[in-house]
Amino acid sequence: MGAGDARLMEMDHQGLEENQTADRYWMRKLPDAEQRPFEEHFVDCPVCLESLETVERLRGGLRELPPGFTAAAAVSSARPIARDRFAPNRARPLLTFLAAACFIIATAASLFFYGEAGRARREVESSRHESERARLRQAELEQALQKERDNRALRSDAVVGALNAAPLAASVFTLNLTRGASSEPGDRVVLPESPAWVVLLFDQPDQANVRKYRVRTSTAEGHPVGDPVTAGAASGGMLAVSLPSSLLAAGDYRLAVEDAASGHLLATYRFRAISKP
């Protein structure tokens, strides 16, 4: 067994927990030197996988907090505690005395430590160089990421520009499972006059072990309509997908629900899109 294997096998779970390694991993705060070995360890470690998934769910949930809560409930409530620490109280004279004593001791000690300062300075200088290199690299990566986000938003604006006028306008339709191939679609989707979102709701297929559902929409003739999309969970055990109405013209359509992992077809829905009379 190589030295690397031994190191990975003997990762100290208590140490990982104490250093919030799983949390820092999701926050992308682990340096490369820690991240790589940690990844190679956790992909094969049920304990760490459980810990990472727990943190992921927790972060995912907390990050959906409405922005108003942020300032009102968390940040502002942190301040009284901070203020209390500096508020006048009965211990203040004693603290002042202790602070003065510490200052005198520190001044005397500084003479002793002066000789050590040169060595420490060199170490600090070296660390600073390292830190600067890391900071520059991080800045480059952040810049690239930001550029990509900006450009992605711009492209999105260009393509769905027509929807921007009413980004939250959506028509919701419930689809019923299609059994048999010959009957004409029972479900009707009324297309809005101006571009808007069409949300299609349908039952979650009764399949165990399916973690994600992929939905392919096509015309009755089998021509794909847009790219496959991942279905989102809606309330009442249903799934939902949303499509720009501009993708649909009047006619019959087929919506195929697949297991995203295996590609197996799980359910088929058919609907007829009709223009608003």
- 92 or 152: CB nearest another protein: 152
Q: In this chain, which of 3, 31, 46, 93 binds another protein, going by CB under 8 A?
A: 46
Distance CA 252, CA 268 (A): 13
Q: Is 27 helix (H, G, I), strand (E, B) or coil?
A: coil
Q: How far is the CB of 112 from another protein (least distance, A)?
A: 28
H/E element holding 199? strand 197-203
- For tokens 């001044």, what's the residue? 107
Q: How far apart are CA 231 and CA 185, in angstroms?
A: 21
Site for another protein in 106-125 (CB under 8 A): none
The footprint of another protein on residues 123-152 (CB under 8 A) is 148, 151-152
Kindly determine how many residues on this chain lie close enough to bind another protein according to the rule CB under 8 A. 87
Residue 75, both tokens? 């940040």
Residue 177 per-residue DSSP state: B
**Choice from 21, 25, 269, 270 touching another protein (CB under 8 A):** 25
Q: Tokens in use for 102?
A: 């510490």
| Interface residue with another protein, options 23, 178, 191, 218 (CB under 8 A) | 23
- According to CB under 8 A, which residues from 151 to 170 bind another protein? 151-153, 155-157, 159-160, 167-170
Among 82, 94, 108, 181, binds another protein (CB under 8 A): 82
Angle between helices 46-62 and 32-42 (to 10 degrees): 110
**Please, which of residues 238-277 interact with another protein by CB under 8 A?**
240-242, 260-261
- Name the pairing type of β-strands 265-275 and 187-191: parallel
Contact call for residues 245 and 217 (beta carbons, < 8 A): no
* Residue 87 lies near another protein (rule: CB under 8 A): no
- Closer CB to another protein, residue 117 or residue 233? 233
Round to whole Å and give the CA distance between 42 and 37.
9
Helices (H), the chain: 3-9, 13-18, 21-26, 32-42, 46-62, 67-69, 76-86, 92-159, 161-164
Q: Which stretch binds another protein (CB under 8 A): 43-51, 112-120, 127-135, 265-273?
A: 43-51
204-243 positions binding another protein, by CB under 8 A: 212, 214, 226-230, 232-237, 240-242
Residues 179-208 that bind another protein (CB under 8 A): 197, 199
> Smaller CB distance to another protein: residue 232 or 251?
232
Under the criterion CB under 8 A, does residue 95 sit at the interface with another protein? Answer: no
